[in-house]
Structure 1
Amino acid sequence: MPAVDPVTDLANRFTNDLEVCRREDLDFEIASELNEIASAFAGSKDPKIVSVDFQPAYNAVNHHCEMYELVERRTDCLVLRRGGLFSLDIELNQRAALATEQQVKLYFSFGPRPNVEKGTQGLLVVTGKTKIEKTHDDWDVKLVKESGRKATIEVQIPTDAPVGVWKVAAEVTRRNQPGERHLRRFDTHVYILFNPWNEHDGTYLPEEKMREEYVLAAVGKVFVGSYPHTRGRHWAFGQFDDAVLPACMLLLEKSGVLAEARGDPVRVSRALSKMVNSNDDAGLLVGKWDGEYEDGRAPAKWLGSIEIMETYLRTRQSVKYGQCWVFAACLNTICRALGIPCRVVTNFASAHDTNVSLSIDEYFDEDGDQIEANDRYVNPAGIRDSIWNFHVWNDVWMARPDLPDGFGGWQVIDATPQETSDGSYQCGPASHEAIRQGRVDLKYDVPFVLAEVNADVVRWQEDDHAEGGFKKLATQTSSVGRLILTKEPGPVAPGGFFESDREDITWDYKPPEGTRAERVSILSAARRTRTARQVFDMPSEAKEDVSFKIEDRDQIPIGDDFSVTITATNTSSEVRTINVVMTCASMYYTGAKAHTIKRTDGEMHLEPNETKTMSMEVYYSDYYSKLVDHDLIKSIVICNVQETTQCWGGEDNLEVHKPDITIEVLGPAVATKAVPIRVSFDNPIPLLLKECQLKLDGPGLMRPKTVELENIAPKGKMKFEMNLYPKKAVEGTLIVQFNSKQLCNLTGAKKIVVTDA
């Protein structure tokens, strides 16, 4: 019979375990098996191991792991954190006297070739000592008590143990006497995780409030929108679901990271940033940005990570589809599940610098018209510089022993496949402090992240006399990294704009814009890169004596009309003639245009010191059918002054606002009882809503669910009632989303506190 691939074998075990979790007769089967073993060993004079009780529930509490569903549903699954002690009971077929009569050995093994020297095997001999004597980075064992045929022992896990699923075996012989050796290998899965509660662990996070948020919080937010109009999108991370840990282990197994290296949070987090996308190793999610999602699910229609993780575990195929916030939210789930403190971070006006110039380059011809495509600076894949409305990645907390002192703490990792690093689509961990200081010489991928948050925008114009055929017109130093947000520690606030649970961490990434420290940081980085030096050393040549301002809007309710308005002021003593082009388009969040909504051009004649305005009206009928994911509309105004070389471009980003979904709890929320809820909203448009669907998710309250609904009348009301059946007392958040053919991505969330019966 051909050998089974280790990854396939592990996947088979995990999917079988998932089915076992759903069975109700597991405890009865295990009890019956133990009775049979005890009967078989009853007449033996040699010591035999009847059973080992790994006390999963008791040990989980002591390791801050009691929330993992695997512990609740499986008696043969242990979830622990390295650096801690865990207890187990060994039952023999005779009176237990481990210090004098029997010798017990325990074997903990990890990976395909367990080795004590490489840290992938622990060999422990129970000698009868009652204290842990070895240091925190070594395996150790002590005897706690003996009672009849049972002995209770405690095991110390090293603080640098590899993270993953360990195998365990126990052996007993007569002490100092020849006799039969009895070895039992157990099917028990011993999950060993990182331990941010232990000061010797590389992920140690000293503040309890931060651990509660960045390790234990199962529901949070991903901030989306466009600067300055942001909103928090609720997401069910669900890191304690019974499908998540097995899926995490399968991803790690496929990552190629050696077993002995899986105790290093730097290498593990870097590998995870690769495995969440499917570009290299058939990882978790397939990325797609073109709006065509018929053979999968549109990224905007995911509510949480659980369904994605379970689908991957069951099918062993990359799930379709994801975009940056889905990649980041799933990576957040995986890191928290493994014990790496993690948060989701959104950078508004995020630069994609393709050539490490630390600049985003825009090009114009000799007449001042913007050139759509230019091959001067593109990456090998043909991708040009761009600025995304927002981009989402993750911060992970860890020590950085591979860097100089002072560069530990928060580190950026990014699972969205944008650029390769060391030959794979992975990014980070990049130290916050290295990004702030412009230390592009420190690994990993600091130049790319630095450009995302602090690149300059440089405008170039064709010039046959300039080196390279272009002269630099002007530089904007504050257009990138306008706002960087994450959810702050604490309760999840209701949805909306400028909600109370958002935390501005912009200055964690860079000094305040315009300060000397900020310029020193970016120029210091530029000096270390040849391409950047060329860009930053070239002087600007634009003469600017007309000031422009585009009217700024927050949002508009769906169905409303709006206008695009530009104001120009001539500050010179001469006449200025301005060619104006106004365009309005629906946009993908990457800044790429989806559909042109409206366009107009004209000319403004300004006398010295004169101010004028120009407007373009945009009606509901113009934009309704052209909206795409996130309902973003970008208005762009390009102004070229005929008498000078001045070229100005301004933009306004707005979001078309859709009504929030209302969630009501109609009765007491009691564990094991039906909890009635009502979901409703008013249809804001004069169209019949067809192919209606409601998605619900709430870790601890319910598993992900999809409900088909009847058509909803124009300007009518949607109302749906159902029951939740929470199994235990919990403070959970129910997240809902409505989609139809005519109206998509309506969302709502409700905190529900379930009490004991």
Structure 2
Amino acid sequence: CLPPSEPLQVVDINMKKAFNEGNHFTNEYMTNLLVVRRGQQFVIDVSCNRPLQWRLTAFPPPTGSDPTPNKDSMVVVTFGNRSGGSWGGQILGSQGAVVSLGITPHPRAIVGLYRTYVAVSTGNGMQRTEKNPNTNLYVLFNPWSQDDEVFYPDDAGRWEYVLNSTGIIYQGTSNQVSERGWVFGQFEAGVLDACIYILDVCRMPIESRGDVIKVLRTASAMINSQDDNGVLVGNWGEDFSMGVAPTTWTGSAKILLQYHNTGAPVSFAQCWVYAGVLNTFMRCLGIPARVITNFNSAHDNTGNLKTELIFMADGSPDRRRTRDSIWNYHCWNEAYIKRVDLPPKYSGWQVVDATPQETSDGFFRCGPAPVIAVKDGELYHPFDCGFVFAEVNSDLVHMKSDKYGNLSPFKVDTTYVGILIYTKAMGGWSPENVTHTYKYPEGNPNGAFLCLQLSGRPQVNQEMYVTVSFKNSLQMTLYNAKLVIEGAGLLDTIGPFAEISQKVKFSPQKPGLRTIVAVLDSQNLPEVTIPLFEQIHSIISLNDRFTDESSLKNKSPAFILTFRSFICLFVCLQVTAMVEVKIMP
């Protein structure tokens, strides 16, 4: 029996690994440490040398090399009558000298490895336990929590896109699709540490690791080694003697473990290897993810939303002048997240591509790009929607050079690019056709839209460019078409399935949130807009058709947006697009 004056000490911390991991769907991870998901309570038992008083218990789990509270890399969880921090703390009960504590990481908590300490109040002040690696814990994203940005709405999807450790990647051609089995292995021993190491090696700020968008941007860049000493070296040649041929890989675990153990990029990869490894990274950290295969995938090297193949006068390909290309297939990933930086419409599946093709903000990466924004041609939303749009929906333009080197189009194919887009079906081993999520059928009135792209630095007196493209996906010619961008006009005739575009340079004059408007007008656009009216008249009464905008004040923003589009299309006989840009002083 201890004397009453014996200082209170913590003698053991039981992380209750089996109990917690069963509740957090993390029991498949092959690690001796506890793995939990943020936004959901886990339980620990703290044993002391004598029964404790409820004046205080504190539980701070720091992470990173220099943990500090103001960066959320050191979190203090309090119990009893003390004020708490961002993590929730609850005393669940006690038995003798053992107290059960419930701890709930904040839904936006930093994802990674935490060191765990328990501090108790004594007559001599606060006493903290010593460092014990056995009480470290991993905190992951949580697709089971509605408060997490990665929440997925049903169990079948969570099982497929988070917990399934094997899958199929589709290859070949649209006429002869082949399957490649892939072991994602997100629960294999060492893989979780390797995924966290990827964030460490690029010096991603600790405080940014709770932001799923920033994590995806970082991962997209780091899975390739193009400019940051990342995971995989690409090789599209025939000599693989200095590494492993891409066709030899059957899963991600060996690649990630080799990278973690050596710190050197792993050779070699092509698109499906990049996609397989990125899929493992996302599922391992708790982000719902799947691999996508786009057949007849375009690479728009010039950024004009068209894929141009140039031929010489004799009909042979001019490889020197042709900058764009078509791959028989290309693989990328989709991640299911809430886009807190965009309106709710753009949440859901996002394109993320680790294959190094073009730079984005200075690094070879792509995404996350909302799939719905790509489908609707709203290419000004972050990130890289224009590049993805060209991959799945650009026109294939055959250009012929005369003897003087002048180019003219002689054939336009509007259906070749992105003809088929596959992913593995949920809960089965057959393909799911997701082409309709990326594009409207050719000839559908919804397929006639304006696309806006912004480039340049949004700053006062700095030159910027806006490129506006209109694709006519109708089986009819639009006459006397006028494309207007802040006063700059273009008169043209737009043939069936043809496209026009205009690039305008401007220098912002004032800081703040500004709007760029583009309008396309044509004398026979009523033929386009009447079907659109028929589609939406069920939610807008005919009596409201010509109501002025002031009467819309009590309607929801989404309804107002729909109604404004209706006014522009049905009354003004125009197709309109707008983009907002924040100009810095």
Same fold (TM over 0.5): yes
Aligned to 2:425: 488
CA distance in 2, matches of 1:360, 1:328: 23
Aligned to 2:76: 123
8 Å contact 1:527–1:533 — kept in the other structure? no
Find out whether 1:220 has 2:167 as its counterpart.
yes
CA distance in 1, matches of 2:250, 2:67: 40
Aligned to 1:229: 176
CA distance in 2, matches of 1:430, 1:539: 32
Aligned to 1:659: none
8 Å contact 2:313–2:403 — kept in the other structure? no
2:412 corresponds to which letter in structure 1?
T
TM superposition shift of 1:207: 1.0
1:62 corresponds to which letter in structure 2?
N
Find out whether 1:340 has 2:287 as its counterpart.
yes
CA distance in 2, matches of 1:469, 1:336: 50
Aligned to 1:312: 259
TM superposition shift of 1:138: 2.6
From 266, 269, 274, the equivalent of 2:213 is: 266
8 Å contact 1:356–1:448 — kept in the other structure? yes
TM superposition shift of 1:533: 4.9
CA distance in 2, matches of 1:42, 1:427: 65
CA distance in 1, matches of 2:454, 2:368: 23
Aligned to 2:63: 110
Aligned to 1:694: none
CA distance in 2, matches of 1:424, 1:156: 36
Find out whether 1:416 has 2:377 as its counterpart.
no
Task: Sort the Cα spacing of 1:527 and 1:229 in 2 relative to 1 into closer, same or farther, 3 A.
Answer: farther
Find out whether 1:512 has 2:441 as its counterpart.
yes
- Partner of 2:70, secondary structure, is coil
Aligned to 1:163: 111
Aligned to 1:23: none
Matches within 5 A, 1:348-747: 348-367=295-314, 369-375=315-321, 384-463=323-402, 469-491=406-428, 493=429, 501-518=430-447, 520-521=448-449, 523-525=450-452, 533=469
- Partner of 1:449, secondary structure, is helix
1:149 corresponds to which letter in structure 2?
A
CA distance in 2, matches of 1:98, 1:436: 61
- Partner of 2:364, secondary structure, is coil
Find out whether 1:186 has 2:132 as its counterpart.
yes
Task: Sort the Cα spacing of 1:168 and 1:275 in 2 relative to 1 into closer, same or farther, 3 A.
Answer: same
Aligned to 1:91: 47
CA distance in 2, matches of 1:505, 1:535: 22
Aligned to 1:147: 95
CA distance in 2, matches of 1:265, 1:256: 16
Task: Sort the Cα spacing of 1:344 and 1:180 in 2 relative to 1 into closer, same or farther, 3 A.
Answer: closer
TM superposition shift of 1:388: 0.3
- Partner of 2:275, secondary structure, is helix
Aligned to 2:37: 81
TM superposition shift of 1:115: 3.0
CA distance in 2, matches of 1:81, 1:221: 27
Find out whether 1:284 has 2:245 as its counterpart.
no
8 Å contact 1:266–1:429 — kept in the other structure? yes
Task: Sort the Cα spacing of 1:531 and 1:441 in 2 relative to 1 into closer, same or farther, 3 A.
Answer: closer
Task: Sort the Cα spacing of 1:168 and 1:540 in 2 relative to 1 into closer, same or farther, 3 A.
Answer: same
Aligned to 2:244: 297
Task: Sort the Cα spacing of 1:294 and 1:302 in 2 relative to 1 into closer, same or farther, 3 A.
Answer: same
Deviations 1:671-712 (A, max 9, x none): xxxxxxxxxxxxxxxxxxxxxxxxxxxxxxxxxxxxxxxxxx
Deviations 1:432-462 (A, max 9, x none): 1110111111110001000000010111122
- Partner of 1:267, secondary structure, is helix
CA distance in 2, matches of 1:127, 1:457: 67
8 Å contact 1:356–1:531 — kept in the other structure? no
Percent of aligned positions that are identical: 35
Aligned to 1:574: none
Matches within 5 A, 1:239-278: 239-278=186-225
Task: Sort the Cα spacing of 1:345 and 1:116 in 2 relative to 1 into closer, same or farther, 3 A.
Answer: same
TM superposition shift of 1:180: 7.2
1:144 corresponds to which letter in structure 2?
L
Find out whether 1:195 has 2:146 as its counterpart.
no
Task: Sort the Cα spacing of 1:142 and 1:78 in 2 relative to 1 into closer, same or farther, 3 A.
Answer: same
Aligned to 2:276: 329
TM superposition shift of 1:169: 1.3
Task: Sort the Cα spacing of 1:524 and 1:125 in 2 relative to 1 into closer, same or farther, 3 A.
Answer: closer
1:68 corresponds to which letter in structure 2?
Y
Task: Sort the Cα spacing of 1:57 and 1:150 in 2 relative to 1 into closer, same or farther, 3 A.
Answer: same
From 17, 36, 50, the equivalent of 1:56 is: 17
Which blocks of at least 5 consecutive residues in structure 2 are unaligned? 456-464, 473-489, 496-585
CA distance in 2, matches of 1:530, 1:140: 47
TM-score by length of 2: 0.75
TM superposition shift of 1:364: 2.4
1:515 corresponds to which letter in structure 2?
N
> What's the RMSD between the two structures over aligned residues?
2.7
- Partner of 1:152, secondary structure, is strand
CA distance in 1, matches of 2:13, 2:45: 6
CA distance in 2, matches of 1:145, 1:508: 50
TM superposition shift of 1:110: 2.3
CA distance in 2, matches of 1:281, 1:532: 33
TM superposition shift of 1:92: 1.1
8 Å contact 1:49–1:184 — kept in the other structure? no
8 Å contact 1:433–1:509 — kept in the other structure? yes
CA distance in 2, matches of 1:419, 1:372: 22
8 Å contact 2:60–2:116 — kept in the other structure? yes
| Aligned residue pairs, count | 467
TM superposition shift of 1:42: 10
TM superposition shift of 1:488: 0.9
Deviations 1:154-202 (A, max 9, x none): 111100001111121112232xx34673432222331110000000100
TM superposition shift of 1:55: 1.2
1:517 corresponds to which letter in structure 2?
N
1:48 corresponds to which letter in structure 2?
Q
- Partner of 1:362, secondary structure, is strand
1:86 corresponds to which letter in structure 2?
F
Query: Mean Cα displacement is larger for which, 452-461 or 43-52?
Result: 43-52
- Partner of 1:181, secondary structure, is strand
> Post-superposition, which runs of at least 4 consecutive aligned residues in structure 1 deviate over 4 A?
41-44, 525-541
TM-score by length of 1: 0.59
8 Å contact 2:451–2:470 — kept in the other structure? no
Query: Mean Cα displacement is larger for which, 329-338 or 455-464?
Result: 455-464
TM superposition shift of 1:389: 0.5
2:386 corresponds to which letter in structure 1?
P
- Partner of 2:318, secondary structure, is coil
Which blocks of at least 5 consecutive residues in structure 1 are unaligned? 1-38, 378-383, 494-500, 542-757
Deviations 1:461-513 (A, max 9, x none): 22478xx821222211111001000001113x3xxxxxxx1100001011113
Task: Sort the Cα spacing of 1:515 and 1:113 in 2 relative to 1 into closer, same or farther, 3 A.
Answer: same
Aligned to 2:568: none
Task: Sort the Cα spacing of 1:372 and 1:99 in 2 relative to 1 into closer, same or farther, 3 A.
Answer: same
Task: Sort the Cα spacing of 1:532 and 1:178 in 2 relative to 1 into closer, same or farther, 3 A.
Answer: closer
TM superposition shift of 1:150: 1.3
